[in-house]
Each structure stands twice: as structure tokens, then as C-alpha cells.
Chains A and B, each alone.
Chain A
Amino acid sequence: MSKEKRKVPIVDGLFTWPSDEPRLIGSRCPVCGSVQFPKSNVCNNPDCDHSKEPEQILLSPEGTLYSYTIHRYDLRPPFDYHKAPYAIGAVELPEGIIVVGRLTTTDEEKLKIGMKVRLKVGELYSDGENAYLTYFFEPVEEVRK
């Protein structure tokens, strides 16, 4: 019987884990309200007086697909665990930022700019010990093309 692998985020600090409803971890400036992803120790608004440090926030799990592409070339090591084809999207969140991330489907028939997508955490690849996790955006509406 195979032992269940430990689920580990590919990089710490990008999304909440472990979690039943994972969210992206961003930050908001208490002075000017500017939102960032990933979270940062300073605000990135050029008009902010930077008098306070940004606070950590959890970003909205739902957004709108701004654009996307299906990557059809394999990457070389050490990133060859990104196996083609895989889909990448840019997603506009209600906070006013556009975040790039993996999409759950490479089926172009199921993708359309402007559609609603929802955050999900899933496996990117695994080795002998661990399953490495990243965040994905999953379409939550049917496409009528």
C-alpha cells in the first residue's frame, strides 16, 4: 500500500494552506488602499506616503478571465514538471489587480475572455515524498461561443 504523499505548496506565502477553501495571500496598504499580490512589505503606489506597512489580506477567490494561452512547449529542467499542454490565464480580481496563474483546463472550447473563474489549489507534480501544490483558476460558467 502506498503511503499518501505530503501535500506541500510549491512556494510558501502565495496561498493559504492547509485550507478547505484556499485563498491567495495579498496585502493592502492601510494608507492608500492599494492591493498587491504577492504580499509585500511596502506599498507600490507612487503617490503613497508610505507611513504604514501594508497589511496581509486574503484576495477574492473569484475573478474574470482577462486573457489566456495554452502552452504547447515543454520546459527544460528544472521546470520540466510543467508538462505541455498546460493553460495560463490572467485573471482580473474585484480588488482591481490582474493575477497570472494556471487554468484547470486546456480545452479552448471551455475558455473565453470575460468568463468567471474561481481559485482552486491542486497538484502540479509529485516526487517520491511530496505532492507539490500550486493555485489554479477554474472556469465556473459554460462557454457559449
Chain B
Amino acid sequence: MTESAIVSAAITEWTASGEPTPSLMDRLASVAVEALRRAKLRPRDVDAVIATTTALPFDNPSFITISAQHFAHRLASKIGSHGMKCINVCGACASTAIAFATADAMIKSGYIKTALVVGADNSPRGFYYQAPSVLDADLATGYPHKVVGITNPSYWAMWARRRAYEMGKPVEDIKELMALVKVIHSEYGARNPYARYRKVFTVEEVLKSPVVCDPLHLYMISATSSGAGAIVVADMERAKKLTDKPVKIAASAIGGPLSNEPAPRLVHFATAGGGRAVRPFTEWRRVIEEAYKQAGITAEDIDIMEVHDTNCFNTINWIDQAMGWEREETDKLIRKGEIRHNGRLPVNLSGGTASFGEAVQCQALMMIHELFLQLRGEAGERQATKKLRVGLCTAYGAYGSYGAIIVEKAW
């Protein structure tokens, strides 16, 4: 099987969402062209464009399609296309990881040699409503919001409380831990020119922010943002000709919903029946285990992580799942500050979604971009001080959508 690598990456600054900013297609095109320029490639050199669709709201219920579903095709036309293959991917907040894994698989199988993975989003603001279409009413996922008033943070809050309970700790314990995660992430957002939020928080400030649904306070939950990014992926032979620092894609795993997942999943009324897995978040762990297998490594080989923190509990949970150790170890790691740039296991040196807000369907581009910079030693003030070889990126989305990508220095 052919090896693959990241040749170049570019993202825009993440900005406020929900405002009609310059056209998303313009932003997408400029960042795509920037990534090509950095790779010294022209559109003719690109075999496939793989774009994520967006979480843009519908303007009018009578529209039978939205242009965002055809980003890849529209982008190809806009930047110049010689008939490149166009694929549009949708997998909730994990969309980019799935687009990336699709590109990787197409290269590794030998079908194509070079791919442009792109995404742009201008996400709706506030709580996300899962309202069914007037033409399609799915009882299982279309109505929890209407019937129960359950929001995405409500699920996360229940997970966080349950974790404290299972560890025999008061809920205040995880609340304080989540506040500390926010503080540490904010220290790196402050050093990242692409981050939307540059303020460094204190634990006290986070705990003084309004309670959204306990134990989650407002500052522990990611805002929604607008942003765009592009990554050029090529087979290793070509990548080595294009850059002296290719970042090898050691693994790119896509995860889906598991019927025996014990933790209630966004945005369902209920877990599935039948035999249940013993531990919650089995579907999170499974995608990482698959990535470890693909890469031929174990958790101990991971030097740095970018994990999808739609809220601060998710940072904690991703560390739990990626390390596969007793949850107490995750708490110690965070409390000792070992997830900072000079720590044992740096996590989210980009500043995380905590500092970016979430441009929902292209968020993993920001994370992969950060690992690309970190492994190449180009992260400036955020650069991890330890020697880096292997990085893990995890993506998390509703409906059981996951991705895990492992990148490795190839020089």
C-alpha cells in the first residue's frame, strides 16, 4: 500500500458566526489556493477535491437543496478544474476528519495521487435545534429538542456528572477540572493568531460565568464560529518532492455509532437495546483503537494531541479514551499542567475549540493544521518543548460521528 503525507496546510482566522461575512466560497477559494501555493502546486495537479458541507442554516424551507452541499464542485469550478473528482462529505462536527480519511484512503489505494481537503463554515448561533423537516419527520432524532428541551450541552453535562459519580467524587470535582481545562486552552488561544478568542481566563472567572446546565458553565462550552481551511495530501513519493518536511499520515480512521454504546448519544431519545458495552464511550475509544492499529502504535507513542473540545468535558473524555488508563490518571495529568506546551502530553496547543469556537463542519482542519505546524516545529510561541514524532487528532460529532488521525514526522 502507498504511503501518504500532508504537504501543506492553511487556515483562516476563526471569526464570529451567524453574520453574512464575505462569501464562504470566496474564503474557501482563497485558503485553498494558499494551500496549493505553499505546496507549489496548481489546480491541474490536484486529482480530487474533498469538501465538507456546512452547518449553514436554511434561509427558506422551500429550497430543496443548499449550495453548501456542493462545495467541492463549486470550488473546483472557481479555482480552475481539469475534471478533478469532487466529493462532498457530511458527518456532523466530525465531517473534516471523514473528508480527510477519504482522501487518505483514495491515495493509499492508488486511485489518486494528490487531494485537496477543504472546508468552510459559518455556523448557526446558540443552541442547536434538531427540528425535523416538514417533509421528513424521524421520530428517533427529530424531536428530543421539542419534547424534552434537551440541548447538546445537556448531554455533555449528564456525561460529566456521571463520570464524577462513577469515580466516587462530588460533581464539583469535575466542574473544577473542566474550568482548569478552559484556562489551559485559553493560554494557548492567546498565542494563536488564528484563534477567535485571545483572552486568558482564570478558574475563578470560568466558575463565575453563568451555569448553562450544571456542571457546565458558559465558558466551558464552545461558541460557534466562522472559518475555513485547506490541506494538501499526496502520496509519499510526491510529497517528498514537494516539501522537505512531509508529515506522514500514519492512520486515518472513521468511527460510526455503536448500537451497544452505553452513554446516551446526541441527539437521540434513547440508547439502543440489546447487550450493552461495559464502559461508556466505547464508540469514542473504538475509533482511536482502530487508528492505533492502522499506525502500528500504542497510546504510549503519542507525543501530542489535538482533541475536539466542543466543551471542556470532551477534552477530559478524549484523554481518557486515547490513553485507555484509569480516569484518575487523566485528572492528575491536567491538574499537574502536563497538557501544556512544556508538559508530558501537550493537548490542544492550538487553543482548542475553547479558543476558536467551532466552525462546525470544518473544525478538524484547524486541529490537523496545528499538528502539522507542531511536528514541523513551526508553531512559534505555542511550540511544544519536547521532541515530537507522533500526533493524534480526534474529531467528535453528533449521531455517533467520529474520526481519529495519526500523523508522524517523515524526515
Do A and B interact?
yes
Binding site for B on A (CB under 8 A): 10-11, 13-14, 28, 32-40, 44-46, 66-73, 75-76, 78-79, 82, 86, 88-90, 95-102, 108, 113-114, 134-135
A134 touches B262 (CB 8 A): no
Which of B77-85, B157-165, B360-368 forms contacts with chain A? B157-165
Bound state CA distance, A82 and B150, in angstroms?
9
Pairs across A and B, CB under 8 Å, 5 listed:
A38-B140, A40-B139, A45-B274, A75-B149, A113-B161
Which residues of chain A are near B131, meaning CB under 8 Å?
Answer: 78
Q: A40-B140, A67-B165, A101-B148 are in contact. List 4 more A-B contacts (CB 8 A).
A: A35-B274, A75-B149, A90-B158, A96-B276
Bound state CA distance, A8 and B154, in angstroms?
26
**Secondary structure of the A side of the interface?**
loop
Which residues of chain B are near A134, meaning CB under 8 Å?
Answer: 147-148
Q: Does B271 interact with chain A (Cβ within 8 Å)?
A: yes
B139 touches A34 (CB 8 A): no
Q: Does B213 interact with chain A (Cβ within 8 Å)?
A: yes
B273 touches A97 (CB 8 A): yes
A34 touches B273 (CB 8 A): yes
A86 touches B149 (CB 8 A): yes
Asked whether A69 and B161 contact (CB < 8 A) given A98-B264, A100-B148, A100-B264, the answer is: yes
Q: Within the complex, what minimum Cβ distance (angstroms) separates B249 from chain A?
A: 29
Which residues of chain A are near B144, meaning CB under 8 Å?
Answer: 100
Total number of B residues with any Cβ neighbor in A under 8 Å: 41
Which residues of chain A are near B22, meaning CB under 8 Å?
Answer: none
Q: Does B129 interact with chain A (Cβ within 8 Å)?
A: yes
Bound state CA distance, A8 and B115, in angstroms?
54
Asked whether A99 and B214 contact (CB < 8 A) given A10-B146, A14-B139, A45-B259, the answer is: no
Question: Which 9 A-B residue pairs are closest in the complex by CB-CB distance?
Answer: A82-B149, A35-B273, A67-B158, A69-B157, A34-B273, A67-B162, A69-B213, A37-B270, A34-B274
Which residues of chain B are near A95, meaning CB under 8 Å?
Answer: 273
B269 touches A100 (CB 8 A): yes
B147 touches A10 (CB 8 A): yes
Q: Within the complex, what minimum Cβ distance (angstroms) separates A107 from chain B?
A: 13
B212 touches A72 (CB 8 A): yes
Q: Which of A13, A36, A82, A100 contacts B273 (CB 8 A)?
A: A36
